Chain A
Amino acid sequence: MAPPDFRRPFKRAAVSDQQRRRELTLQRQAQSRHDAQQRVRNLASTIISLQSQEPDDAADVVLEPYPEESEAPPKELDIRRASRMRGEQVRNWFARQLMLPEWMIDIPDNLSQDWYVFARPAGKRCFVVASNGTTVSRQRNGSILHCFPSALPNGAKTREPSGPAHSYSILDCIFHEGDQTYYVIDMVCWGGCSYYDCPADFRFYWLNSKLEETGASGPPSYYHKYRFSAVTHEKGLPAAYTDATPYVKDGLLFYNKHAHYQSGNTPLALVWKDAKCSQYVLDTDSTGEVPDQQQKVVLELQEDGNLITSDDPPIIFGRLNSEFIQQLGLHSGNFVRCAINDGGLSFVEGKLEKADLKYIGKCSRGRAFADSYSKVVFQYMARHSPLTYDDLLVAANKPPSDVEMAG
């Protein structure tokens, strides 16, 4: 009989660090594998849930005043395509899900009645997705900003489930570095329920009550790494412009009360800035400096040499001839940087007629979007004949016009 070894660990931690590293690695790998598979499945279930809502055509009614936007809901097609994608493509797909405000180049009717206005927090715009016990924020270029536990439903691996097990929530936020807070500007899904197809006033109302309810607006804790704070949507223009906010302001956002959440550029959400409410009125480069007074634009090169904006349908700003394209080794889909020369932009009946562009160079590979038409025009106006706060104030004080909204 071999003598049994009864020696027990003495004054020694029971687990070796190497074993710990191994286990942590295995955990990470199992989680990554589960995430990868869940991603494929989640995209699939998004298709399923959106398809079932298809017969509901209320959307068209609301969008009536903007007939050019009401055609073909591209959402469904997009998601179908997304389900076939993996990795990089999935990131790109997520990137395109944010509702991107157009820049305000003229003042919409009924500003005071049909539009919310609020001060936009300065920071990183991102989608915050809480599901499966984790919360992930993705920036507009699709990259992950944070991965953290939160009090959002299913946003942390807590002992008690904080929401229906399968559910996920998606919030449209701006992460404000200064106070490490996610300012929620919109709600897309909550606890498994999709709010894509609800008007903004409904979304904002729910958003406020849900954030309270779950404690997501509470201070950070073990299971809740960052505070979520709803921006005040309904204080009106003067308050949004002048009142102090806990965050650094970066312009004003205008949201149409009746508009549904719509991925991509939309004229139903607008951004406006001046030097008083934003440090970044004029385009800044990566260091935050305004390079020079000359306006630069980023456009996408098409097969036929046209240079287009990111709008859908795109606006053609100019073209490069094929010889030039070949010479520079450019390809269709490349983003190119151009300067607006002294000739400027000329408009006929509010439509772009001609742009005096000068090719500068190719953009870095990190670039995911061309500029939108409204951005280029806003920037142009800011340099020449800006839309001022006083203009807005006048419009806001104008009595409502007689156009009836059907929403």
Chain B
Amino acid sequence: MSAPLSVTSISQTYSLAVLLRTNTAQLLTTYHKYQGSPFSDRGLSDHGLQLTGLPVAAASFCAWRQQSVEERLGENFKAYSAYIEFLRLVTDDQTALNPTALDLLKLLRKTHSRIRMLVGKLAGLMTGLGLTIPEVAVDRLPAGSLSASDWERKIRGYAVCLGLTNWLERTVRDLTFLKKKHRQ
């Protein structure tokens, strides 16, 4: 009985991930627009930007290909659980920095809400497949997050939006992979 339910759940989760992928691409563009130069300039390189505590989507193909379903979904679950917190932080940062950028704030809140939904879907999927949901730390934000300078706030917002975009690319692939696997 669980197999058809899982296929449906995977499809729904997949659809949500695809929607979010579009969502975050728009978010990244809007985010850049409000941060001023050089963010709003074309061709800004992230220079391997990394944020402490922010999960990185990049993975070698072999490692990714050999992942089990549990590992695959588990990593997604952990990543988005962290992104929920980072997105909230970025929303607060932008509320302070750009209180008049209503479209950006609205997009951040919408993305935050949908990521929460995605995390719920992933959890449901794992439960449906009889997999163990990994434990996540309660507070994943690095120490000193609240005392960041304005530049650091802008940079971390950029890192979060960019990381989220990368993660959703990966998730769509993961779920495509899962969909195929479950059909067989």
Is B truly associated with A? no
